[in-house]
Structure 1
Amino acid sequence: MKTSAIIAAIACTSASAFAPASTARQNTALNLKVGETAPDFALEDQNGKTFKRSAAKKPLVVYFYPADSTPGCTVQAKAFQEEIQSIRKEFKADVVGISGQGAESKQKFAQELGLDFSILADEKDAVRKEFGVPKAAFGFLPGRVTYVLDKDGVCTSVYDNLGDAASHIEKAKEALAEMKPAKKAGFTLPF
Structure 2
Amino acid sequence: MKTSAAFIATFAAGASAFAPSSAVSRRSPSSAINLAVGETAPDFVLIDQNGKTFTRSKNKKPLVVYFYPADATPGCTVQAKAFQEEIQSIRKEYKADVVGISGQGAESKQKFAAELGLDFSILADDGDAVRKAFGVPKAAFGFLPGRVTYVLDKDGTCTSVYDNLTDAASHIQAAKDALEQMKPAKAAKGISLPFSLPFN
Which residue in 1 is equivalent to 2:126?
123
Identify unmatched segments of 5+ residues in structure 1. 1-24
Is residue 2:38 matched to residue 1:35? yes
Q: Is the 8 A contact 1:80 1:169 kept in 2?
A: yes
Deviation at 1:29, TM superposition (A): 5.6
Q: Is the 8 A contact 1:60 1:150 kept in 2?
A: yes
Which residue in 1 is equivalent to 2:147?
144
Deviation at 1:163, TM superposition (A): 0.6
User: Normalising by the residue count of structure 2, what TM-score does the alignment of the two structures yield?
Assistant: 0.79
Which residue in 2 is equivalent to 1:183?
186
What's the CA shift string for 1:22-65, capped at 9, x where partnerless? xxx99x86431000000000000000011000111000000000
Q: Is the 8 A contact 1:29 1:134 kept in 2?
A: no
State the secondary structure of the residue aligned to 1:72: helix
Letter in 2 for 1:51: F
Mean Cα displacement is larger for which, 179-188 or 129-138?
A: 179-188
Higher Cα Rg, which structure: 1
What's the CA shift string for 1:49-90, capped at 9, x where partnerless? 110001110000000000000000000000000000000000
Which residue in 2 is equivalent to 1:93?
96
User: Structure 2 CA distance, aligned partners of 1:30 and 1:186?
Assistant: 45
Q: Is the 8 A contact 1:66 1:143 kept in 2?
A: yes
Identity score, percent: 83
Q: Is the 8 A contact 1:148 1:155 kept in 2?
A: yes
User: Structure 2 CA distance, aligned partners of 1:32 and 1:175?
Assistant: 16
Once the two structures are superposed, the pairs formed by residues 166-177 of structure 1 within 5 Å of their partners are 166-177=169-180
Tell me which of 111, 116, 120 is aligned to 1:108.
Answer: 111
User: Normalising by the residue count of structure 1, what TM-score does the alignment of the two structures yield?
Assistant: 0.82
Letter in 2 for 1:57: K
Identify unmatched segments of 5+ residues in structure 2. 1-27, 193-200
Deviation at 1:158, TM superposition (A): 0.2
Which residue in 2 is equivalent to 1:16?
none
Displacement over 2 Å in runs of 4+? 28-31, 185-189
Which residue in 1 is equivalent to 2:64?
61
Letter in 2 for 1:63: Y
Q: Is the 8 A contact 1:58 1:151 kept in 2?
A: yes
